[in-house]
């Protein structure tokens, strides 16, 4: 079962908040020289805080899919851990930490969100985590403050793993199912990041991240037998 492999991998890669993060070595002075990056970290924390609601909606739609619900139980823990570590960092450096009121406001705005198509939503989740992984990877290289570099590197590894487990869940669902493959590809063509449910501008490390886009296209080609770029051109040609 996929849960066995995922849980084992998650345990082997797990980082510990109190022992692996060098909280006592944070330099607020260095951190505050990059307010734009800190604002992106704040938005990222807000997105991660949304996952208790988002995951609940997805699990309700997929209640009879044991593999998916089992794996997402671990994902939910890790996403809220990301919120906690990012927001704790903001508190230490003194840059606009999120309050309970902020989290409740986000949940109030999203409380009526529903998952209408679980397969498309799983594809949307995979693509969102893919771009989140690249954001945190880039942030770990851009940050001047050493502990923020450390935290974002930890989170990037988690996000890449989340992307892979979503891929592993999708693969048997699209195998030999043309309609399912088409649905996943359409989710890619019409992609809206999960974070867009929460913030106006989803954090990105660099505009038009070619490497992130290229690797996603290759991943979708492996999954569906055709890439998003090829599929979108096919749709364009079909219109004429």
CB 180 within 8 A of CB 173: yes
> Does a structural domain hold residue 7?
no
pLDDT tens profile 85-138: 999 999 999 999 999 999 999 999 999 999 999 999 999 999 999 999 999 999
Q: Give the residue among 31, 43, 55 at the shortest CA–CA distance from 162.
A: 55
pLDDT of residue 176: 92
Task: Specify the pTM.
Answer: 0.93
> Does a structural domain hold residue 234?
yes
Residue 225's domain comprises 20-238
> Does a structural domain hold residue 91?
yes
As averages over each run of 10 residues, the pLDDT of the chain (240 residues) reads 84 93 98 98 97 95 94 93 98 98 96 95 97 97 97 97 96 95 96 96 83 95 95 59
CB 126 within 8 A of CB 161: no
Backbone angles phi and psi of 33, in degrees to 5: -80, -10
Q: How many CA atoms lie within 13 A of 59 on its CB side?
A: 16
pLDDT of residue 225: 95
What is the Cα–Cα distance from 91 to 98, expressed in whole angstroms?
8
Number of domains, the chain: 1
∠ Cα 58 59 62 (to 5°): 90
CB 145 within 8 A of CB 23: no
User: Is the alpha carbon torsion for 229, 231, 236, 240 positive or negative?
Assistant: positive
């Amino acid at each position: 079962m996929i849960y066995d492999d995922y849980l084992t991998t998650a345990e082997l890669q797990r980082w510990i908040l109190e022992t692996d993060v060098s909280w006592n070595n944070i330099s607020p002075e260095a951190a505050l020289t990059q307010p734009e990056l800190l604002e992106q970290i704040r938005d990222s924390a807000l997105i991660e805080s949304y996952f208790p609601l988002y995951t609940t909606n997805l699990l309700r739609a997929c209640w009879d899919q044991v593999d998916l619900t089992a794996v997402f139980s671990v994902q939910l823990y890790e996403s809220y851990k990301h919120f906690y570590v990012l927001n704790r960092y903001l508190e230490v450096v003194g840059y606009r930490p999120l309050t309970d009121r902020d989290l409740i406001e986000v949940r109030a705005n999203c409380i009526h969100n529903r998952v209408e198509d679980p397969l498309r939503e799983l594809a949307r989740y995979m693509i969102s985590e893919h771009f989140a992984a690249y954001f945190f990877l880039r942030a770990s290289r851009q940050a001047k403050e050493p502990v923020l570099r450390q935290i974002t590197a930890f989170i990037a590894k988690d996000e890449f793993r989340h992307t892979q487990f979503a891929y592993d869940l999708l693969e048997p669902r699209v195998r030999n199912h043309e309609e399912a493959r088409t649905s996943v590809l359409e989710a890619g063509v019409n992609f809206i990041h999960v974070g867009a449910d929460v913030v106006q501008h989803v954090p990105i490390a660099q505009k038009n991240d070619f490497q992130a886009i290229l690797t996603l296209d290759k991943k979708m080609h492996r999954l569906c037998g055709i890439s998003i770029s090829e599929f979108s051109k096919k749709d364009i040609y079909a219109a004429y």
